[in-house]
Amino acid sequence: MDNRPIGVFDSGVGGLTVVKQIMKVLPNENLVYFGDTARVPYGSKSKETVTKFSEQIIRFLLTKDVKAVVIACNTVSSNCYDDLAKKFENLPIIEVVTPGVESCLKATKNNRVGLIGTNGTVSSGAYERKLKKSKEDISVFKRACSLFVPLAEEGWIDNEVAKLTVKEYLKGLVEKDIDTLILGCTHYPILKAVIGQFVGEKVKIVDPAKATAYKLKECLEKNDIINLSLKEGNRKFYVSDNYAHFDKICETVLKYTCKAEKVDIEKY
């Protein structure tokens, strides 16, 4: 039995949607979450900057003796995963793009797929390359939805501003006759209800978070580091700024009382 915690990180609150699924799939695992709330968003930053930030965060998580790390951020997963896996070669690292692609391939019937994400994720082409590798005839219609992250961070998830923003970004995708929509940013499931209202029941919404949790479980079992305890796991949360606001959103997403600690991430 390995009761060391699993590290999870994101640019802000979005990764909590992945934590939510991990808590369901692996309720006995201890978790350490870091949200880089001082430097959010990542999607508009260069690959070099995002890689530097991610390396700092992983070094911090290693001080908590994590046994594996989940990159709960599509921008990092699509741009920096290979570099991070090489840098921390002895640390199991799970990204969110591959599970999202696998879920999408199972869901689509007409091979017309919508992808929404940050500028960094959409421009990387990571989702499109992986999808076309499995299905050459698949059509991927992409849209960067930059304002979704600040809406999620602010907690504006079901008001008129959110509805109008979703309509403005997604009306073009719906017109492409897509039957599947990948939420290519872990912040976006926080807006899932209003997104679902707009795209309608004919469009299957793919949230990579659930598949990521199962991919993590496979990784832990493969490396023989799963926690076999019957006790519910401990969860600790760290942020780089504004932890009171983070706590509020954390409780909304996880239904879990959260008391995040502020960390000077620049030291790592």
Contact 54, 9 (CB under 8 A): yes
Contact 225, 2 (CB under 8 A): yes
| Stretch 214-231: mean pLDDT | 95
pLDDT tens profile 78-118? 999 999 999 999 999 999 999 999 999 999 999 999 999 99
pLDDT at 171: 95
| Six token digits for residue 223 | 């490396």
pLDDT at 257: 86
pLDDT category at 158 given cuts 50, 70, 90 is: confident
DSSP 191-227: GHHHHHHHH-TTSEEE-HHHHHHHHHHHHHHHTT---
pLDDT tens profile 3-50? 999 999 999 999 999 999 999 999 999 999 999 999 999 988 999 999
pLDDT at 154: 86
| Stretch 226-238: mean pLDDT | 94
pLDDT at 97: 95
Residue 155 has pLDDT above 90, yes or no: no
| Six token digits for residue 164 | 């109008």
User: What residue ranges define each of the domains in the chain, with the CATH number in brackets?
Assistant: 6-96+210-267 (3.40.50.1860), 97-207 (3.40.50.1860)
Active site residues: 73, 185
Residue 243 has pLDDT above 90, yes or no: no
